[in-house]
Amino acid sequence: MKNLTLKDIATALDLSITTVSKALKDYPDVSTNTKKKVKAYAKEVNFTPNAYAAYLRTQESKMIGVIIPQLNHYFFSNVLKGIMNAAEEEGYMVIILSSEESYELEKKQVDRLMKQNVDGILMSIADSTHDTEHIDNISKQNIPLVLFDKYSKLSECSSVIINDQNAAFTAVEHLIKSGRKNIAHLRGPLFPQNSIDRFLGYRKALEKHQLPYKKEWVFTCHDITSDEGYTYAKDILDKHPEIDAIFAVADMPAIGAIKYFNEQNISIPEQIAVMGFSNWKISGLVTPALSTVNQPGETMGRKAFELFYEELQLRKKGEKFAPKIIEVETSLVVRDST
């Protein structure tokens, strides 16, 4: 049996195609009786609207693409929850892809989404992304683009971010005010803006309080894992015993450091304090519980979708949209590790 079309229903009920379409979409200018008649018949014949045909009529696919750096990541799972809840309210289907922190895979995922005729793309760039031509090309193709969390200052599009520099400054200043004077930093890779800003926040806190900054006290976590934190904690004890606190770019390296210190019977926070960033669920479950910066992922996801939807509506009206930057508030979560 062939797939029924709006024309088939219109012919069967002696109505116009426009009336049938409006009735199925609950338009107010169609009578209640007509809506009931159309919907009852559509149910009886098991009518399913053709998504591609709808796209040809409206030039809207009702799909958005989301690219995140990692699937098994607590923060990004919260971002996705916010995006999907907001998308559901507007009748959007969400296609979720991962770049696995790979620049090359990220470019492929962007290309795949554009070929699917998505109405917009929301993404957080990979740590290894060093060139933004593929990202800029999205906007050049008149596809609404919103970057969240890991973004590029070079791309002219909307972004939903936190003030990483201020958040890092607050975290390090907390360590200083608790009496720490020799503070190491487990920083992130060199490319993402949030990694740069958290490093700058660390340095500014030291400068404000006239504490020493030493390059040898900064350790780069290329993959931002607990294993890296564990290894660097060993280096700190072996080579830099004067260090009395660690500020990590994210929770996982901080948790790795705590694991090593616990194995070596180093008292936390008495001998060395540890501060993370992001507030993963596990950060409150380790011993001692990890002090960290709370990064509201769900709010960030919802705001990202709302920015996309605002831009889309303006484009449909033929109005110009000026890219916006929305800054989501963070908060310091003080636990036993500091």
The answer to whether residues 181 and 283 belong to one domain is yes
Question: Is 336 part of a structural domain of the chain?
Answer: no
The answer to whether residues 320 and 255 belong to one domain is no
The answer to whether residues 264 and 175 belong to one domain is yes
Question: Is 338 part of a structural domain of the chain?
Answer: no
Q: What pLDDT does residue 25 have?
A: 79
* CATH code: domain of residue 66: 3.40.50.2300
Q: What pLDDT does residue 56 have?
A: 47
Question: Is 97 part of a structural domain of the chain?
Answer: yes
Q: How many domains does the chain have?
A: 3
Question: How many Å apart are CA 301 and CA 156, to the nearest integer?
Answer: 19
The answer to whether residues 248 and 308 belong to one domain is no
Q: What pLDDT does residue 2 have?
A: 54
Among residues 86, 42, 41, the alpha carbon closest in space to that of 64 is found at: 86
The answer to whether residues 22 and 67 belong to one domain is no
Among residues 105, 101, 119, 104, the alpha carbon closest in space to that of 54 is found at: 119
Question: Is 172 part of a structural domain of the chain?
Answer: yes
> Could you report the per-residue pLDDT of 228-286, keeping only the tens digit for each?
999 999 999 999 999 999 999 999 999 999 999 999 999 999 999 999 999 999 999 99
The answer to whether residues 209 and 137 belong to one domain is no
Question: Is 44 part of a structural domain of the chain?
Answer: yes
The answer to whether residues 178 and 278 belong to one domain is yes
What's the chain look like in SS3? CCCCCHHHHHHHHCCCHHHHHHHHCCCCCCCHHHHHHHHHHHHHCCCCCCHHHHHHHHCCCCEEEEEECCCCCHHHHHHHHHHHHHHHHCCCEEEEEECCCCHHHHHHHHHHHHHCCCCEEEECCCCCCCCCHHHHHHHHCCCCEEEECCCCCCCCCEEEECCHHHHHHHHHHHHHHCCCCCEEEEECCCCCHHHHHHHHHHHHHHHHCCCCCCHHHEEECCCCCHHHHHHHHHHHHHHCCCCCEEEECCHHHHHHHHHHHHHCCCCCCCCCEEECCECCHHHHCCCCCCEEEECCHHHHHHHHHHHHHHHHHHHHCCCCCCCCEEECCCEEECCCCC
The answer to whether residues 237 and 266 belong to one domain is yes
Question: Is 111 part of a structural domain of the chain?
Answer: yes
Q: What pLDDT does residue 51 have?
A: 53
Q: Which domain holds residue 257?
A: 164-294
Q: What pLDDT does residue 84 have?
A: 97
Question: Is 131 part of a structural domain of the chain?
Answer: yes
The answer to whether residues 157 and 228 belong to one domain is no
Q: What pLDDT does residue 26 have?
A: 80
The answer to whether residues 302 and 289 belong to one domain is no
pTM of the model: 0.81
What's 20-82 look like in SS3? HHHHHCCCCCCCHHHHHHHHHHHHHCCCCCCHHHHHHHHCCCCEEEEEECCCCCHHHHHHHHH
The answer to whether residues 176 and 270 belong to one domain is yes
Q: What pLDDT does residue 22 have?
A: 85
| Average pLDDT of adjacent 10-residue blocks, the chain of 338 residues | 74 89 84 91 80 55 92 91 96 95 96 92 93 92 94 90 97 98 96 92 98 96 96 97 98 98 98 97 96 96 97 89 95 98
